[in-house]
Amino acid sequence: MAEELRKQSDRNFSNRQGLAAVVDASRVPPQAVEIEQAVLGALMTDNEAAIELSGFLEAQHFYHAWHAAIYESIVALVQRQVPVDLYTVHQALVDNGKIEAVGGASYLAELTLKVASSAHVVEHAKIVVEKFLLRELIRVSNEIENDSYTQTEDVQDVLETAERKIFEISQSNIRKEVKRLPTVLNDALKLIKEASKADSSIAGLSTGFPHVDELTGGWHKGEFIVIAARPSVGKTAFALNMAYNMAIKDKRKVAFFSLEMPSSSLVLRLIASETEINSKQLSSGRLTEEQWERINYAALEIAKANIFFDSTQGIGPGEIRSKCRKLKLQYDIDMVVIDYLQLITAPYSKVQNREQEISKISRSLKALALELDIPIVALSQLNRAVENRASSLYQPQLSDIRESGAIEQDADIVAFVHRPEKHKVPMYPDETPTTGMAELRIEKNRSGETGIVYLSFIASQTKFVDNLSQLDHYQQLDKALRDERNAPGTLGGGEGQGKGLRVVASEYNDGGNKKIGRAKAAEPDDSIVAGIGPYMGNPLVALQDAGDDDAPEGVEDMPF
């Protein structure tokens, strides 16, 4: 019987493989029919073994179709919490109309005679899975060979597809596209139980900034996180501080792709942060003996951090994915940081513009986060629209992310690094000095809260540290802006208010492009108080006194 089953399975396997398998029909695909029989026989004599194996053994792992159908019935019984034995399996197959298709009742009885006990069933099941993985390698290799011969795709796409398929097999991660609700529910309950047993109060990876962790719950597996800022605000410094915190405090393994700065410059920042030596002095090399001692001690500590730096310039999304997969396979990395998104080189395309390229890169990074089951943090630039918001202290918005609206859509979390002092704002609205102050503004959080976390920034060391005070410095500004918008006779007032005013020499944003409008008071000598008001659904900023001046050259009157 076993020999007959093997021959039939070989024919089925060859049919699935197509021409490549037919060419060399003398080679027998990897299989272990007798082991499969032993596994099924053991499961029908030991209900506990059936429950245990249902967690990792799947019907597709079996070489012979009969065995796959029998195991499907066993799994269905386990899910319904029905005891598994010869009689219940037989009845399940009868109910499904498959009993004759799997050799009948006599073959089921024969399987139970294949083993004396279920003592080695787990080891036998592992052999079944191993043979399946070898067959999958053959299948994938044939697909790669076919793709290479047909040449219908770009060579980089062929390489990317080949690598992805083999990586999935190496991880024993042949994904099922559809999962029943009970299976997903069990996965969710396991996550809750794991979180309840953890020492930390947060569910995800700690950033090393307690108030950030408190607001976000940490970075979670499979999340795509975007941290954006204007140039020279400190997004690289924040990401580096975060990666170092994870690597040192929590012993995490972090891959850091620096497309803007060489790896040595990043390490110099770490040394400055650890030694508290001014970065300029450190770069100059003019150091005292005591400072050299601090550097030597810091170097020993920094060397303990499991951070993998890659500063390859002009790197593309395919190469990033390839390197991340290798790092995951070899070192089981916990997080990836990419600095920064707009510097990733997209594959050549005659039809795509830069916005479409960035959108494709963004989606691929989200897919990679899900594939590797780790958070991926991508830094991003903001456009110049931020510079036009003087009246709101230059607070960034989601629409400011440069070159693509798809980034904010793909991201699970979008955070802005904001430092008002960089815009020459000396005081917050509550008269708190902005010197040394920084904000991490969580503007989008798919699975949690949004809000502002206040940090301290030590410029000489390019270092962010937690700020004990989390007072809302914008509370007065928010109230003032609301009052101003709703006040009678001002732009942004309610229905019937602001009558006779027109927009003048003020700026508003339309898709990130600065526009110029005009406004005039009802009387020639009246003036308009600077503030914010809506114009065609866009916020007006930096409103100037109107007086009775004519519009600037080339600017037309636009009635409010």
Domain assignment present for 507 = yes
Boundary of a domain, candidates 119, 138, 170: 170
- Quote the domain boundaries for residue 539: 476-559
| Number of domains the chain is built from | 3
Say if residue 506's pLDDT is above 70. Answer: no
Read off the pLDDT of residues 308-350 as tens digits, 9 standing for 90 and up: 998 888 788 878 888 888 888 888 999 999 988 888 887 655 5
Pairing of strands 224-229, 376-381: parallel
* HSE, side-chain direction, 13 A CA sphere, residue 395: 17
Active-site positions read 260
Domain assignment present for 482 = yes
Read off the pLDDT of residues 206-250 as tens digits, 9 standing for 90 and up: 888 988 888 888 899 899 999 998 888 889 999 999 999 999 888
Radius of gyration of the chain (CA): 32
303, 232: one domain: yes
Pairing of strands 502-510, 463-466: unpaired
481, 442: one domain: no
291, 426: one domain: yes
Looking at residue 357, which CATH number applies to its domain? 3.40.50.300
366, 225: one domain: yes
Q: In terms of pTM, does the model score above 0.85?
A: no
Domain assignment present for 12 = yes
319, 300: one domain: yes
Candidates 226, 233, 307; CA nearest to 270 is 307
491, 465: one domain: no
Stronger pLDDT, 150 or 83, i.e. the higher one: 83
Q: Using pLDDT thresholds of 50, 70 and 90, give the confidence band for residue 148.
A: confident
122, 28: one domain: yes
> What token pair was written down for 225?
């996180």
DSSP, collapsed to helix, strand or coil, labels residue 53 as helix
Boundary of a domain, candidates 140, 170, 200: 170
448, 482: one domain: no
Domain assignment present for 448 = yes
Domain assignment present for 183 = no
- Render 267-320 in DSSP notation, one character per residue: HHHHHHHHHT--HHHHHHT---HHHHHHHHHHHHHHTTSEEEEE--TT--HHHH
Domain assignment present for 453 = yes
381, 313: one domain: yes
Residues in the chain: 560
223, 86: one domain: no
Q: Note the maximum CA span of the chain.
A: 104
Domain assignment present for 454 = yes
377, 265: one domain: yes
- Average pLDDT of the chain? 75
Looking at residue 80, which CATH number applies to its domain? 1.10.860.10
Read off the pLDDT of residues 342-371 as tens digits, 9 standing for 90 and up: 888 876 555 467 777 888 888 889 988 988
Candidates 374, 306, 373; CA nearest to 335 is 374
311, 438: one domain: yes
Boundary of a domain, candidates 471, 493, 517: 471
